[in-house]
Structure 1
Amino acid sequence: MSYAAEKQVAIAAVRRACILTSSVFNNLVKNETLTKEDASPVTVGDFAAQAVVNTILGRAFPNDPIVGEEDAADLRGDAATALRTRIVELANATLTAKLEAGEKEEWGLGPSGQQTTEQLLNIIDKGKHEGKAERMWTLDPIDGTKGFLRGEQYAVCLSLIVKTEGRTRVQLGVIGCPNLPSDLSNPSSPRGGIFVAVRGEGAYELPLHDPFSAPGRRLSIPKLTTDNLNLLESVEKAHSKLSFNEVVAKELGITKPPTRMDSQAKYAALARGDGGVYLRMPTGTGYREKIWDHAPGSLLVEEAGGKVTDSRGEDLRFDLGRDLGENYGVIVAGEGVHSSVLDAVKRALAKEKQGQ
């Protein structure tokens, strides 16, 4: 089926959230109104962006549940008065900004979009859904919090997951990357893009500030071989076992240094040909990846000609709740090299088990 309406709403929601988070960085982090070591800018941005996106989704698709990263429990007490006030101000300023191309007033946007504090807290709480439904959205309002604080890569990530013909799959993925250069090899190139994919319709990069002006650039992962691969991986060692990635790189004969960036911007970069492989192996036992960390990015890569599995070669599961269940690790690569990467990962895991 077509998801044209959902695509339009999702792009508009992610665009507004990107503008909001950029404003938070410029006003609270860059100008050092709060110190970079203080988590408050991230907290403000997370909650306000979730309020904006959930408002738009709630107006456009009132029956759809949302699986979001945040809930408003910590915002309701007296101790959170100042934080709550700032979040409400930011969310309302974003919602009531003038309508742009592709947006509709009935989504809660424009001058009449003002919300009360209680309305915004309740709409943030709509993200508490358990993650089991025939149709649901996933949202990560700021994916890559440390990248956000450094003024580097972070992403606003939204997806629509639908059960059709007995199978639950991501049908729509939208990722906003406010700081991603248009040319990764040239850091001074224009920054900011919205990456969107609908199952069966391809993956596209759109301009961040005017995403409805043109169809955008269709993304296609180039046909790479193990001779010219390099790894995309997290900046933070706590997020992925980077030492394991080094072993996999040796197994594949990769000599190029890895490209490191935070957030699902890695999925976006890989989908347009920046790097060949994204590996994310767990750093500890018992850790389960959250569905909002991979749902939109996985579809983006698949629609650009890539493949996404766990380290066993199994599809990622988006029907088990708020996490990916027993999926262990995530392997993302172009279709032509994925099997080689998977074999290398299995060899590296065997060596790790043997203590080599």
Structure 2
Amino acid sequence: MKIHKLITKTDELNALCERLATHEFVAVDTEFMRENTYWPELCLIQIASVEEAAAIDPLADGMDMSVLMELLVENQDVLKVVHAGGQDLEIFHNLTGKVPTPLFDTQIAAMALGYGEQVGYGNLVQAALGIPLDKGARFTDWSRRPLDKRQLDYAIADVTHLATLFPKLLDELVETGRGAWLDEEMARLADPSSFAFAPEDAWKRMKLPGRSPQVLGRLKALAAWREKEARGKNIPRGRIVKDDTLGELANHPPKKQSDLVKIRGLSKGWKDNDIGARLMDVLEEAEPLSAEEMPERAPRRPGLTKDAALVSDLLKLLLKIRSKEAGVAARLIARAQDLELLAAGVREDLDILSGWRYEEFGRDALDLVEGRLAFATENGKLKMSRIGE
């Protein structure tokens, strides 16, 4: 494989993208910094086909990334391969408003192939390819220039191995007939709504301080204000005001700006500075949450009797056994909540009672709950048997 250590010129990048666009897939990874910013700062993009790999410097003077973004988010003929790509996808969504598609995440694929739940990239490469990775540069400052040889070697290794790993995992998925199992998970990962939300919706991601329309109206206004302040200054939202402090302000709003000094989490400067004045304006203008906006009460999960709780425990044991036998991560098959619902008598709208999950686990789970399957021990080993057989 040909390695381009670092691309810093637009014409070189455009030529690379033209070549990459002829391949069926490209492996993609990013390096970024976000400790001190609201928006993650993209510092490096690594990309590879089966023939070549490169690191691309988005911080280089005069670098135009438009052709690369077109390849990643517009070109539907080239599959984009990532590993645990949620944060990478967030970056591309921030830059373009879109998510790279079509998409394949090797971490999700690894769950279906028995490599473990949320297996790390290094562990997966070691297990699937027998190659140990040097992760020493993982926590480096990627925004500093120039990047040294060790940083670039580390960064490019991620996509070169990913380009080798993907065909192997794909062959295993085809051989086991599990490719279709991943459609739902890949679609969820590539959903743009996961990466974009309006400041006015920021309060929905917080722990709600009660159900008073007045309190929630203030929280909604405060959370939106904080989001706009953080975005405008490009600093983490917690640097403006922490969640707990917003909740306290919503529950017990100060009557005048000088009272802000009494709020835990705010410095003394808030009593007479501009940001404190803006906060007070938000509180003054906040309106109670309308009935239409009030959050729905969480649906009550069916209460588990003592017997049903025992059945739920047996279902968890069955899941552990079945996932081990099938070589599939238990988390990909069923959630604990679904097991409890099944144990409590629910039979509708459960993923484990349809599709491949039913074939791999749901049928036996239903038989266990309804008394057609039992656990027993034989010679000190646990085994299952069907009642009446």
TM-score bin (small chain): under 0.3
- Give TM-score, length-normalised by structure 1: 0.26
- Give TM-score, length-normalised by structure 2: 0.24
> Which structure shows the higher helix fraction?
2
> Which structure shows the higher strand fraction?
1
